Structure 1
Amino acid sequence: MIVAFLNQKGGVGKTTLALNLAALWADQGRRVTVLDADPQASALDWAQARSQAGLSRAFGVVGLPRETLHQEVPDLARGADHLVIDGPPRVAPLLRSALLAADLVIVPVQPSPLDGWASAEMLRLLDEARLYRPTLRARFVLNRCAARTVIARETQEALAAQDTGALRGTVGQRVLFAQAMACGQTVAELEPDGPAAAEIAAVGAEIEALDR
């Protein structure tokens, strides 16, 4: 399965979700490769921080911020159970290439009106990509949300009402995610029995179920 984490809006947590989910799947015995398609190279920075800390490699991270991504992905995907694409914000040609490369697009959205407006543009790009990839699937996922807030509930309901739909699982706004990213680790490594790891596990299982 080729899973792309995409959103034109920056700061929605694409890289954090991509890396934590990739680590989850790798820990479950899947062969996982992460493609860093963002010119900011945050996933590669995370992998470097991990190496400098002397930690074992959890999975391969490859930098590929090129508009030919969709042409190169099939060869890279042959050796992986899950190929995870960490997509770019606001780089239209790169984003379109990632859309054409993916089997499934996960669109992280924060609970705010601004994110809701940005997701309308993602829906348009998804429709455009389906002209060439009719089988392309997509789901929104609510990320960085405070639990039991009205705006989180309303955003989740609005996303679920879209034709694209939304994952049932959500991911909270937790300092642990930033701490893990800074030191090249994952939330499951820092707090294996904590709520952040549980949220990632639930979202990961839901994504894998979409491929069955």
Structure 2
Amino acid sequence: MIVAFLNQKGGVGKTTLALHLAGEWARQGLRVTLIDADPQGSALDWSEQRAREGSPRLFGIIGLARDTLHREAPELARGADHVVIDGPPRIAGLMRSALLAADLALIPVQPSPFDGWASGEMLKLLSEARIFRPQLAARFALNRCGARTIIARETAESLAEDDPPVLASRIGQRVVFADAAQSGRLVSEIDERGPAAREITRFAAEVGRFG
């Protein structure tokens, strides 16, 4: 299965979710390749930091920030159980290519009405892609949710009425994700039994059911 994390809006946590989904699947013994399709190369930076820290390699990361992604990703998928694409913000050509490559598009949003409004252009691209890939599945993914906040609940209820709907699993706003990004680690490697690690496990299980 090829899963693409995409949103026109930056700063919604695409890279964090992509790395942790790939990492969780790899920890389960699956063969995973992550494609860094963001010209900023944040996933590649994370991988380099991981190597500097001497942490073991969990999955392969390939930089592929070009609009031929839909032609190249299926070839990469032949050698893996799953391919995860960390998509770019605000580059329509690259996003179209990632959508054409994907089996599942995940649109991370934060619990804010502004993120909901900003996803309009993303949904237009999704509709265009479904002309060529009618089987393309898509879901919103609620990320950086404050604990038990009213706005998180209201955002989830609002997105539940949309197409695409929202995943049931949510990822909290936790400092450990920033620590993981800086050290080239996963939250499960920092605190295996902590709430962030449990959220990622539930998230990966829900996404995995699409495969």
Relative to the length of structure 1, the TM-score reads 0.98
- Counterpart of 1:169 in 2: which secondary structure? coil
Counterpart-to-counterpart distance in 2, 1:72 and 1:112: 35
Q: Which residue of 1 aligns with 2:74?
A: 74
- Aligned equivalents of 1:124 and 1:159: distance in 2? 16
Quote the residue 1:13 is aligned against.
13
State the distance in 2 between where 1:37 and 1:28 align: 24
Task: State yes or no: 1:137 paired with 2:122.
Answer: no
Tell me the residue number matched to 1:83.
Answer: 83
User: In the alignment, what sits opposite 1:163?
Assistant: 163
Provide the identity percentage: 64
Q: Cα offset for 1:148? A: 1.1
Counterpart Cα distance in 1 of 2:73 and 2:180: 28
Residue 200 of structure 1 corresponds to which residue in structure 2? 200
1:151 counterpart residue number:
151
The match for 1:3 is 3
Q: C-alpha separation between the residues in 2 aligned to 1:113 and 1:163?
A: 16
- Aligned residue number for residue 62 of structure 1: 62
Matches of 1:22 and 1:156 in 2, distance apart? 24
Give 1:118 deviation, angstroms: 1.2
* Structure 1: runs of 5 or more not aligned: none
Report the count of equivalent residues: 211
> Could you list the per-position Cα deviations for residues 150-172 of structure 1 after superposition, in whole angstroms to 9, with x for gaps in the alignment?
11001001111112111000000
Read off the aligned partner of 2:66 and give its amino acid letter.
R
Q: When the two structures are superposed, what TM-score results if normalisation uses the length of structure 2?
A: 0.99
Please report how far the alpha carbon of residue 201 of structure 1 lies from its aligned counterpart in structure 2 after TM superposition.
Answer: 0.5
Counterparts of 1:120 and 1:195, CA distance in 2: 31
Secondary structure of the equivalent of 1:131? helix
- Equivalent residue letter for 2:12: V
Q: Give me the whole-angstrom Cα distance separating, in 2, the residues matched to 1:79 and 1:167.
A: 28
Counterpart of 2:184 in structure 1 is: 184
Matches within 5 A, 1:27-106: 27-106=27-106
**1:121-169 Cα deviation digits (max 9, x unpaired):** 2211111100010100000010001021111001001111112111000
The Cα RMSD (Å) is 0.6
Shift of 1:184: 0.4
Q: Secondary structure at the match of 1:196?
A: helix
Q: Distance in 2 between matches of 1:6 and 1:53?
A: 29
Which residue is equivalent to 2:26? 26
- 1:4 match: secondary structure: strand
Distance of 2:166 and 2:117 partners within structure 1 = 16
Paired residue type of 2:79 = G
Structure 1 stretches of 4+ moved >2 Å: none
Amino acid corresponding to residue 62 of structure 1 in structure 2: I
Q: How far off its partner does 1:120 sit? A: 2.0
Q: 1:176: Cα distance to partner?
A: 0.3
Distance of 2:137 and 2:5 partners within structure 1: 12
